[in-house]
Chains A and B, each alone.
Chain A
Amino acid sequence: MKIDISKHIFRAYDIRGLYKKDISPEIFYKMGLAAGNYVKNVIHGRQIAVGNDIRQSSIPLVHSFIAGVSATGINIIYTGNTAFGQTLFKGWELKQDLIAFVTASHLPPEWNGIKFYYGDGVGLPEKELMKIRDFTLNDDFDVVDWEKVGDVESVDPKTSYKNFFKSKFKFNKKLKVAIDCGGASTTLSVPDVFDAIGLDTVHVFCEPDPSFSKRPSEPKSENLTVLVDAVKKNNCDFGVAFDGDGDRSVIVDNTGKVLSADETGIILGKYGLAEKKGTIIVNVECSKAVKEQLEPLGFKVKQIPVGHTFLTLEAKLEKSPLGIESSGHLILPEYFLFDDALVVPLKIAEILDNNEKTLGELAAEIPTYPTKKEVIDCDDQIKFDVVERLKVELTKEFENINAMDGVRVDLKNGWVLIRSSNTSPIIRLTTEADNEKILDQLTMQFMDKTEEIIEKFKGESK
């Protein structure tokens, strides 16, 4: 039986939609069939682990997904209501062929979705995700006979997850950490794990609250005022806030300053890695400070396109010690490849345990450069072509060009990145420079260039 499914719920890194409008148990049943078919016929596996965040709508969605997978004859391990990291950890520990997590990450509570990882912790690349999309949209799957129906086993990951971190982290100091779970999925993991490894915790929104009524689940500065106050009031060594499912965390230093992902990444690289070698993976949006700070220590810094699936895949290929996504996904593959945000504050705690300086002092040593983000209107029909033309023209003009994801031009006193949006009729322009004056100048220069090309295209299409 075919049902209407919007193609737009399938995005580059995951599947997302409004519950009851774009996604439903029926659609998740189909997606279960598609995922089962993908494991069976594309990667020739047998097992899927699945779990879900604490959103209320995750429950009917995950159960219909499980029914679909089981109908294709693929076995399921169900980890229950968990944080992102707990399900990923269990699937990775049990060497599943595919790990699925029902969540809409940081989006508002009326949203939901699902994301997929391989058993080694690498996120499914867009190309592979689109295979699951096509199976779903085309009803391309078979159900098995009664005796081959997949098993469903419930496994609680919480204890083994906690024990894993207990075996990896031991502190001499009594560190005090303010934790802000935003009432979301990490309420199920963070307080438990942090207490178990001996951190003194101050709780901010650590009670499960599936409607995210206390703060929006996106952990950006303006949503973290309560955490910042808690850090200062309780004299915490640092604070940490998590997004809805727990694949991104934001660190607040002891002075109450919210650190960017780049700053946190630099601190992890400078003080958290035993050996100062290997390739650190950063995406094209990361600050030039990353390279400036880490390359002199002995690391190589490699730029990759935006998207956490690239991050995990590239980190695996390069055997990287660290991966930094400017959106807040940070990975430390000495533990595992997947972007469980829990490792970040724990690593920060370890650094502070081994260091006399405060986090504020460590952060102050990192130079920050002014940045600017501009949006240029551009019709969907031409936006990709405009960026392609820019690549050609800018390559003629400039020496240091990276064209893997949009086009990034690196100059000696700054850089600019021009990318077309995947979802809206706009082109995004990001600039970073040594000072405000250069920043304005670079921004103007490349905006003009982009608009000039847009005009040319408009002219050609008339």
Chain B
Amino acid sequence: MTKLFGTNGIRGIVNEDMNCELALGIGKAWGTYLKKSLIRPKVAMGTDARLSNHMLKNAISAGLLSTGCDVIDVGLVPTPALQYTVKEKDFDSGVVITASHNPPQFNGIKGIASDGTEFSKDVEEGIEKIFFEKNYSLAEWKSVGKLSMWDGAVDFYIYGVLSNVDLELIKDQHYHIVLDCGNGAGCVATPILLEKLGCKITKLYCELDGTFPGHNSEPVPENLGDLMQKVTEVGADLGAAQDGDADRAIFIDEKGTYIWGDKTLALAAKYITKEKKGGTTITPVTTSSCFDDVVTENNAEVIHTMVGSPFVARKMIQKNAIFGGEENGGLIFPEMQHCRDSAMTIAKIMEIMAKEKKTLSELIREIPIYEVHKTKISCPNDKKETVMRKLAELTKDDSGVIKIDKTDGVKLYVENGWVLMRPSGTEPIFRVYSESKSKDRSEELALKYKRLAEEIINSQ
């Protein structure tokens, strides 16, 4: 298991655990790793809107340069814009200085592979190993890397999005959209994109500000009160909010109602599988069954992966999937790239509205409703594995269990629902998710299996 890299890169509080020494060391380890297979690696580097970005960017680039990697600084960009650049412009790797949706005192480092996907665990482990062993291979004075700037990444990305949606159709609608960038990296790209899509834009928190004065950058309902209100106030067709590094998008319908990410994910899946008349879609085991329902209805297939967008993205590549994503608003459109992409998501949702000639609330109403129940149980980290095994064993012959899925934790499909017990990667807990069309059934499932898990933990 990686010690520094979490689900979405390395994160920490600036000048405490996320400091220049770490960034410099990671830069050297990263460069050393790349140099194992490449003579002169070319690394693209970008940042979100945080105040400490320049400091950390200078530290990590110093590390990369000292190993003999060339670094191209693309400046302040949405994470998907950097990923698109890495993939399309043939970079060997990409660095994003971002802490995504975390509060402003945080920052982080995210690694991008040459195909534009987030680093795999193997690569992260490889870099960490070099870092902890300080096994750096540093270049001599005459072969240290060169640093240059490229300010074209945002435009390049915007044109990428425009070329992957039905531009004329969207333009004809003249949608009125309220855009909330949360003062994050989306500010530099999304307003321009929406203008090119012919939208009337009402802007909320679309000025870059690393203190995030508008609201915290996780697009959950409690942070989007202003957006919901604004949509009804100005009579907009929809509202959209992006997280801090603009890889995820959350929508508000024309009535000012917050739409959870699983609904948007299912909506996109529904229309993409309908249009393609089948195909394969990918989503983690935690995703609501509403996704499976709409996809199977169109004779398409669903493959469940472990939790984490890199797993979804890699499985999509492997299975040549037509769509994938997570329930947190991170949607992946392979025609554009294999990563979560909020600008592409916003454009695509408008395209669906335009094609179906329906309002967003009408479209969402067509998505099946499931009641989700989430709870957790404490469990020491060293017991997690045994508990998982026991859980699978004990439930194998359970007459109520239709199917067991051990992709990530133990997921039991039962009559009218499912329950998932999954060890957390960061905390000493098991998360329990359950879902059913009936709220009572959902709660009952969660309780039943929580109790079983507790019994197993206590008996260890």
Residues of chain A whose beta carbon lies under 8 Å from any beta carbon of chain B:
1, 19-20, 24-26, 28-29, 55-57, 59-61, 63-64, 66-68, 70-71, 76, 109-110, 112, 143-147, 149-152, 210-211
Contacts and interface: CB of A to CB of B under 8 A. Distances in A.
Most chain-B Cβ atoms within 10 A of its Cβ — which of A28, A29, A63, A210? A63
B423 interface: no
A210 B140 CA distance: 13
Given A147-B51, A149-B51, A152-B55, A67 B142 contact: no
B144 A57 contact: yes
B349 to A, nearest CB: 34
Given A56-B142, A149-B15, A67 B24 contact: yes
B20 interface: yes
Contact of B62 (A20, A64, A76, A112): A64
Contacts of B211: 147
A64 B59 contact: yes
26 contacts: A1-B21, A20-B138, A29-B21, A29-B62, A55-B141, A56-B143, A60-B61, A60-B63, A63-B62, A63-B147, A64-B20, A64-B24, A67-B55, A109-B141, A109-B142, A144-B15, A146-B14, A146-B15, A146-B50, A146-B52, A146-B104, A146-B106, A147-B105, A149-B52, A149-B55, A150-B55
B65 interface: yes
Nearest to A3: B21
9 nearest A-B pairs in the assembled complex, by CB-CB distance: A152-B54, A146-B14, A64-B62, A67-B59, A70-B55, A60-B65, A67-B58, A63-B62, A19-B141
A307 B143 CA distance: 33
Nearest to A146: B14
Contacts of B13: 146
Contacts of B146: 56, 59
A25 B69 CA distance: 14
Interface string B1-42: 000000000000111000111011000000000000000000
B310 interface: no
A2 to B, nearest CB: 11
Given A19-B141, A144-B15, 17 more contacts: A20-B138, A20-B140, A25-B65, A56-B142, A56-B144, A59-B65, A59-B147, A63-B58, A63-B61, A63-B65, A67-B24, A145-B14, A145-B15, A146-B104, A149-B51, A151-B54, A152-B54
Nearest to A18: B141
B55 A57 contact: no
A57 B66 CA distance: 8
A57 B105 CA distance: 32
Interface string B137-157: 010111111110000000000
Contacts of A109: 141-142
B154 to A, nearest CB: 17
Contacts of A210: 142
A59 B19 contact: no
A87 to B, nearest CB: 17
Interface of B: 13-15, 19-21, 23-24, 50-52, 54-56, 58-59, 61-63, 65-66, 104-107, 138, 140-147, 211
Nearest to A58: B144
Contact of B19 (A20, A71, A147): A71
Given A67-B24, A143-B15, A29 B141 contact: no
A60 B66 contact: yes
Contacts of A28: 62
Contacts of A55: 141
Given A145-B105, A147-B104, A110 B141 contact: yes
Contacts of A144: 15
B65 A67 contact: no
B328 to A, nearest CB: 25
Nearest to B14: A146
B51 A24 contact: no
Given A67-B20, A146-B13, A20 B141 contact: yes
B141 A71 contact: no
A64 B104 contact: no
B66 A24 contact: yes
B20 A71 contact: yes
A24 B141 CA distance: 10
A63 B59 contact: yes
Contact of A71 (B15, B50, B63, B104): B15
Nearest to B56: A67
B62 A146 contact: no
A377 B14 CA distance: 54
Contacts of B15: 71, 143-146, 149
A164 to B, nearest CB: 25
Contacts of B140: 19-20
B66 A71 contact: no
A200 B23 CA distance: 49
A459 to B, nearest CB: 47
Nearest to B66: A60
Contacts of B141: 19-20, 55-57, 109-110, 112
B62 A67 contact: yes
A21 to B, nearest CB: 10
A211 B65 CA distance: 17
A68 B105 CA distance: 18
Most chain-B Cβ atoms within 10 A of its Cβ — which of A28, A29, A210? A29
A329 B323 CA distance: 67
B145 A29 contact: no
B20 A25 contact: no
B14 A29 contact: no
A29 B51 contact: no
A25 B19 contact: no
Nearest to A19: B141
Nearest to B63: A25
Contact of A25 (B24, B51, B106, B107): B24
B20 A60 contact: no
Nearest to A109: B141
Contact of B54 (A29, A61, A70): A70
Nearest to B139: A20
Contacts of B23: 67
Contacts of B104: 146-147
Nearest to B20: A67
Contact of B145 (A60, A66, A76): A60
B359 to A, nearest CB: 42
Contacts of A60: 61-63, 65-66, 144-145
A131 B279 CA distance: 68
B15 to A, nearest CB: 4
A368 B378 CA distance: 90
Contacts of A149: 14-15, 51-52, 54-55
A1 B19 CA distance: 12
A21 B141 CA distance: 10
A70 B24 CA distance: 14
A109 B141 CA distance: 8
Contacts of B20: 29, 64, 67-68, 71
A29 B66 CA distance: 13
Given A20-B141, A24-B66, A152 B52 contact: no
B21 to A, nearest CB: 6
Contacts of A26: 24
B92 to A, nearest CB: 18
A24 B58 CA distance: 14
A293 B53 CA distance: 57
A61 B62 CA distance: 7
